[in-house]
Chain A
Amino acid sequence: MDLRFEKIYKENSKYVYNVALGMLRNRDEAEDIMQNVFIKLFEGYGSFRGDADIKTYLYRMTVNKTIDYMRSQNLHSNKLELIEQPGPQKTDSSVSLLDALLDRLNPELKAPILLAEIGGFSYKEISEIMNINLGTVKSRINRGIAKLREYADKEALL
Chain B
Amino acid sequence: MKDVRILEIRQSVFADNDRQAEALRAELREKGVFLLNLMSSPGAGKTTTLMRTIEALGEAFRIGVMEADIDSDVDARTIAQSGAKVIQLHTGGMCHLDAAMTRQGLEGLETGDVELAILENVGNLVCPAEFDTGASRNAMILSVPEGDDKPLKYPLMFSVCDVVLINKIDVLPYFDFDLEKCREYIRMRNPDARVIPICAKTGEGIDAWADWLRAEIRSWRGSMQ
A binds B: no
* A interface residues with partner B (beta carbon < 8 Å): none
